[in-house]
Amino acid sequence: MLAVMLGADAALAGLGQPSPWQMTLQQSASPVMDDIIWFHDFLLWIIAAITAFVLILLLIVAVKFNAKANPTPSRTTHNTLLEVAWTVIPVVILVVIAVPSFRLLFFQLNTPKADITIKATGKQWYWSYAYPDSKFEFDSIMLTDAERKKVNPEPPRLLGVDNEMVVPVNKIVRMHVIGADVIHAFTVPSFGIKIDAIPGRLNETWFKATREGVYYGQCSELCGKDHAFMPIAVRVVSEQAFTAWLEDAKKKYARIDDAQPKTVAAASGAE
């Protein structure tokens, strides 16, 4: 609690991944997460003050007005000033909370003009990422412990994947999120995003990664036996590195428009 209040979160939380004995939220790497952390800390001050105030009142009552200390209690039943105060002050506190809360909600929900669009599809039990502007899609599968050992630097356990989602730094990324079979949820704590992946419904969110690095998240909707084993790994790189990756990826991964006619042909052939 003290550490949180003193703002020592940098020492306690990892960048882009959880750390042992972590107490606070993961470090922020997007403007939305900056605001979420600010709002979290702001609420913590308010809730701590209210809790301390109620505790002090309880202690005063217990000490000053117990049967021994105060044998003949007062018969007072109403106090207009006090009743108006304990109605108005909580209303004022709620309004003070509501203003930044709604501002944050609109900030999260209004997608700014996007530089790049990526569609994440939740599947049992892995994610697929499509880059519709560049017409390719690939699967992102969790690495086993043995596979992890071969990667340098070794990715964190249950979070590393074979094919990471790659985005450029300081660009606005629009995420389209959908489920292919059951409801999943796409979450990256450092970007402050968490949105359901629902079959038949395209959800949208956005983020702007402000620091290069690898940011991990996990499916956040119970989706079946391997729910815990479909991590999300986002690699944030410079714009030049991203352009180079995009060129490679276009060759490496099957093109969406190449794959689709075959599927359609196979389906209509079967009818």
Residues in the site for Cu ion, rule: CB under 5 A? 184, 219, 223
Nearer to Cu ion, 116 or 182 (CB): 182
Cα distance between residue 54 and residue 27, in whole Å: 32
Residue 5 Cβ, how far from Cu ion at the closest point, in Å?
Answer: 35
Nearer to Cu ion, 122 or 168 (CB): 122
Residue 202 Cβ, how far from Cu ion at the closest point, in Å?
Answer: 17
Nearer to Cu ion, 142 or 237 (CB): 142
Q: Is 33:39 a contact under the CB 8 Å cutoff?
A: no
Q: What is the DSSP string of 169-226?
A: TTSEEEEEEEESSS-EEEEEGGGTEEEEEBBTB-EEEEEE--S-EEEEE---S--STT
Looking up tokens 């709604």, which residue turns up?
A: 102
Looking up tokens 């909707």, which residue turns up?
A: 221
Residue 187 Cβ, how far from Cu ion at the closest point, in Å?
Answer: 10
Nearer to Cu ion, 184 or 208 (CB): 184
Nearer to Cu ion, 126 or 191 (CB): 126
Cα distance between residue 218 and residue 230, in whole Å: 6
Residue 183 Cβ, how far from Cu ion at the closest point, in Å?
Answer: 8
Q: Which two tokens stand for residue 35?
A: 């605001």
What Cα–Cα distance (Å) separates residue 115 from each residue in 111, 118, 150, 169, 209?
11, 10, 34, 11, 12
Helical ranges in the chain per DSSP H: 2-5, 9-12, 31-64, 80-109, 145-149, 239-252, 256-270
Residue 46 Cβ, how far from Cu ion at the closest point, in Å?
Answer: 35
Nearer to Cu ion, 130 or 223 (CB): 223
Residue 227 Cβ, how far from Cu ion at the closest point, in Å?
Answer: 5
Q: What is the DSSP letter of 75?
A: -
